[in-house]
Amino acid sequence: MSVLVAKGLIRQFNGLRAVDNVTLEIPEQQVRALIGPNGAGKTTLVGLLSGRLACSNGRIDFLGRDITKVPPHKRIAMGMAYTFQITSIFPSLSVHENVAIAARRLCRNEKDTRAVVADALKRVSLAHVANTDAADLSYGHQRLLEIAMGLSQSPRLLILDEPTQGLAEGEVAEFIKLIHDIRQNTTVLLIEHNMDVVMQVADVVTVLNHGQVLFEGTPADVQANIEVQTAYLGGAHVKA
């Protein structure tokens, strides 16, 4: 079963097509990586999928339902969660309270909420800072907090926009382990510049360039493709 099917997506800004006839299909429990040079249209595409931007044309189906015109909060209720390229947390609240706000969408009572929060924080290795104000976390830990907020909603699809940005080397290694854990029951769409991460976690990689799909295939396929190397990787061969 395909969790997400997007067909012929177009987003136009004053004559510029930031997303130009993009078709994307993501099967259940797949880790799909979306890569491309700056300005390729990745974040705009995520905006269309999440509902934060309206499509100029095209259709988006999520779990078999047309959600093209469904607002973001209803997509979240249906099982779609996402993190932003720029962190979006409540800095004056504690780490626990941040995740609890997200978890309460599904939890029936505070006891359930506490259990879900504890599990989400444990999975992203932030349990030890549960009572710390979010503003006092490092930028990398704020990124992990956002992921915990997404996980607390038990999503069918988790969209992560530049999740390793700001993470230390050890934190990136933990993030890779986390993705392998998440994929057991959640489909992941990962927008990522760190090619080492992409090569280690992705089943399929979709490459955008100038708002269009340039190439799609396995990490090994991407490694070997000359067009991708020229457009995105600067002609350099990427090691897995």
Domain boundaries, the chain: 1-79+155-240, 87-154
Residue 62: name the closest of 73, 52, 50, 53 by CA: 50
Instruction: Give Cα separations from 32 to 10, 87, 113, 197, 217 (angstroms).
Output: 20, 21, 30, 12, 10
Q: Which amino acid is at 207?
A: V
Q: Could you report the per-residue pLDDT of 160-182, keeping only the tens digit for each? A: 988 888 888 888 998 999 999 99
State how far the Cα of 171 lies from the Cα of 126, in Å rounded to an integer.
Answer: 11
Backbone angles phi, psi at 7, to 5 degrees: -130, 125
Whether the Cβ atoms of residue 98 and residue 121 lie closer than 8 Å to each other: no
* Whether the predicted model's global pTM rises above the 0.85 cut: yes
Domain 1-79+155-240 is classified in which CATH homologous superfamily? P-loop containing nucleotide triphosphate hydrolases (3.40.50.300)
Q: What is the pLDDT of residues 215-229, one digit of tens each?
A: 999 999 998 888 888
